[in-house]
Structure 1
């Protein structure tokens, strides 16, 4: 009798999931995966769908109080910007991409910036700590991962000194990404007078939201004069990792008008986490020196926007390319539209090169990534695998326009996470990225189609299984 009761319960739960997938799913391929997962994995499949699969954007997610507050805040922050923000861009493709970001986010192109590439974790941490030492007014930090260790301890030591000088400190962390952060570390910061908050807290009533909609952004702003963003987290993995070696990553140091736009993203998230509105305080919104030569646009996306901002940014870059597309990313699990865009670009004669890590911190992600290689190589995409683990999220086209940020090429970044990229309209910076990219490619191994297709039946099966289960990633 109990067997039949469980069967009936499974049928009821599956029917609920099937209805939601059928009516609110976006992509047929992903919807089919969820239908099969909920059908063949009783109870666990439905739980997984409820956590990771529900399309909250379609389910009137935008009408929820939290999302409304975010949307209204960013609109208010940039309400004085005029529509001719990109008129000084001479390239048609650059103007097109910039206008797309402005129309979907209301975040303008900022001129007058000095940008410095920080090519690994050590460079990024040294630059951030040096900037903290010079802070006079405030220090604002937001990272997906804050992890106890040498790096965090060094930052806390400097924060303690600045608190004694009455410099205010505000810290945001993601509840999922920073789940290992010790309570004693948070208490230590609070005792210093630092304000530290989880942006996606693991609280009753918010658990499913926090688990699936993570804040993946990496932002540091000091005195509104200098800002940092990119792919680096606050973790010792960038200086010592016994499993994958030292992680490689790319970060940016920004001075100029774009720091204000970067800071407004932090202020929006801080408002969401604390209900403290700091946008009326000139200390936090005033732009300082804007005398640099680089043009930069902050791309801030997440489930609080009607559009998939970061995916549209990547698609626009790929579709606008005329000569070359170079991608450096640790998790390449493309959506159908992204996959087809890369194939179309390669088939039309554009030189498309992907530089991906041979090893990774997730076997499922690695196998899922490998499952796309045959189709891409057949279309003419060149794929290189590097021996070390690269966490960089970089794309640049035609040695002209580049993007450095927190966004992976996967469904989680495109649909579920809060992400932030810096879109750079500066050929010198892009050529610097190209130089480093070429140096990495020279040390990497190229995947050759005839050899790759001979991989074992077991390998191919694992790849297909991982691809099928990729909605859970």
Structure 2
């Protein structure tokens, strides 16, 4: 303190000023200099980040939005850009390249097996563009079963876990420590106890509420557990924009389950508000199971650095079924917006009917245009969404698409009995899709997803029956409903629409 006071005297401060006043006079100019330096650094950071945004952001609209905000309000925009600004998961891409020398021969051998067994889908049933997006072939000789809602889904999955003899692969976006989560824990633990190699992969953002003891108990029981760990690597330290949204279970390389259900009591009809919780998964038996193993193998390698020793022997379904199935993994490590291109192609291929169910409906403009064109050429286009939603911003943004779609004849139905969470699509008479991808920008570009595309008239009938049941509990919505709402609601819809790229 004496040194401070002596410096104040050298600065010719009035002798009558109190020590507190003189201390403030000493600190104030330094605080101003610190603030000025902070402003300069923030604007330089914002300017550099805006250059990166212009070069890397996928859409012109997104590039403009980031560039303007990074240069005008860098104090807020720079942290947001570091967290949400990236749309390419470069770390995953690099690691995928690292393992290609080992896995490419494996996939090539698998395709050779399929061709030798005449299990690759022949012309004219082949889906060449879809296969190009998937980088995997569509296969014949599969049995597929549609599982509707939690009780049927988890009864089938648990039966498969209990019957596994060699290995289990389990991957979920959300796992909860509730009644269903503990039952899932119990089944995995029992499988490991009888000598089955159990590998469990979870998304750490989706499972942020999962207690550490849940995971540690699994590890102590012999289950090999890994978080997807999207933030690993120096370049990924701050970003939480990428999620592994896949839900996969594979038993012994012979049976696989893929779809929208996570592990939580809400899927069993025990949500306090959104009940019943409607979902769907597909159980597949046959060569498509090996195609489901491929994305799990890549995700596991990213998370753990280890390549799993799995069964790649191709076998047809014992029932003699011959459904054509394509396993379509998509995500931000792809060269293209694979998920968005998949939906675009399906919309363009539709000739008579296009029914889409999704809990979150926030498409981009190119998808909206494709839906409009489909309706204008006479396709029966129907969109099925929940009346109530667990994400308010998504619900508000979804309303902004009603008017432009309604004007060309697209029908948007709102399901009012519980929460509709399944992700399904029906194209014409024989093509259907069930998977993990929502009809929104996050699934199109930012999430790792997996969709099973099935070409089989009998299975399409099952999917059609599911849609018809859901339509029966739905109402047709219209743009007039929004027009009659109060101004604050209409404004909130427009603001939510601006956030569509992040939803």
Q: Normalising by structure 2, what TM-score? A: 0.86
For residues 412 and 345 of structure 2, the distance between their equivalents in structure 1, rounded to whole angstroms, comes to 21
**CA–CA separation in structure 2 for the residues paired with 1:68 and 1:229:** 26
2:386 alignment counterpart? 357
Q: SS of the residue aligned with 2:354?
A: strand
For residues 48-127 of structure 1, the aligned pairs below 5 Å read 48-56=80-88, 61=90, 65-69=94-98, 75-80=104-109, 81=111, 88-91=122-125, 95=126, 98-127=127-156
Asked whether the 8 Å contact 1:200–1:215 carries over to 2, the reply is no
Q: Quote the residue 1:285 is aligned against.
A: 312
Counterpart CA distance in 1 for 2:99 and 2:365 is 29
- Structural RMSD (CA): 2.3
Distance 2:101 2:461 in 1: 38
Select which of 420, 428, 444 maps to 1:398: 428
Deviations 1:182-215 (Å, cap 9, x if unpaired)?
1101111011111000122555736547612211
TM-fit CA distance, 1:17: 2.6
- Work out the CA distance in 2 between the residues paired with 1:319 and 1:70: 35
> 1:419 Cα shift?
0.9
Unpaired segments of 5 or more residues in structure 1?
Answer: none
Question: Larger Rg: 1 or 2?
Answer: 2
- Asked if the contact 2:426/2:460 (under 8 Å) is kept, the reply is yes
Q: Is the 8 A contact 2:483 2:490 kept in 1?
A: no
Partner residue in 2 for 1:330: 359
Which segment is superposed worse, 343-352 or 264-273? Answer: 264-273
Which residue of the partner structure matches residue 249 of structure 1? 279
Query: Number of paired residues?
Result: 462
Pick one of 460, 466, 470 that aligns with 2:500.
Answer: 470
| 1:338, distance to aligned residue in structure 2 (A) | 0.9
What residue number does 1:21 align with? Answer: 53
Which residue matches 1:197?
226
Deviation at 1:294, TM superposition (A): 0.9
Distance 2:93 2:188 in 1: 36
For the Cα contact (< 8 Å) 2:167–2:197, is it kept in 1? Answer: yes
Are 1:440 and 2:455 counterparts?
A: no
What is the aligned partner in structure 1 of residue 172 from structure 2?
143
CA distance in 1, matches of 2:429, 2:99: 35
**Partners of 2:121 and 2:139 within 8 A in 1:** no
CA offsets, 1:297-330, max 9 Å, x none? 1001112221222211111100000011100001
Cα-to-partner distance string for 1:379-418 (whole Å, 9 max, x where unaligned): 2110011122111111111132111111112222122211
Q: 1:42 to 1:182 in 2, by over 3 A?
A: same
Task: Tell me which moved more, 47-56 or 341-350.
Answer: 47-56
* Separation (CA, whole Å) in 1 of partners of 2:100 and 2:204: 22
- CA distance in structure 2 between the aligned counterparts of 1:250 and 1:72, rounded to whole angstroms: 36
Alpha-carbon distance in structure 1 between the residues aligned to 2:415 and 2:157 = 27
Alpha-carbon distance between aligned partners in 2 of 1:375 and 1:306, rounded to the nearest angstrom: 30
Deviation at 1:238, TM superposition (A): 0.7
Q: TM-score, normalised by structure 1?
A: 0.91
Output the CA distance in 2 between the equivalents of 1:144 and 1:459.
32
1:310/1:320 CA distance change after superposition, 3 Å: same
Alignment equivalent of 1:408, drawn from 438, 444, 450: 438
**1:174, 1:434 → 2: CA distance?**
32
Classify 1:64/1:319 alpha carbon distance in 2 versus 1 (closer, same or farther; 3 Å): closer
CA spacing shift, 1:39–1:351, aligned 2, 3 Å: farther
Once residues 69 and 330 of structure 1 are traced to their aligned partners in structure 2, the CA distance between those partners, rounded to angstroms, is 36
- 2:486 alignment counterpart: 456
Deviation at 1:123, TM superposition (A): 1.1
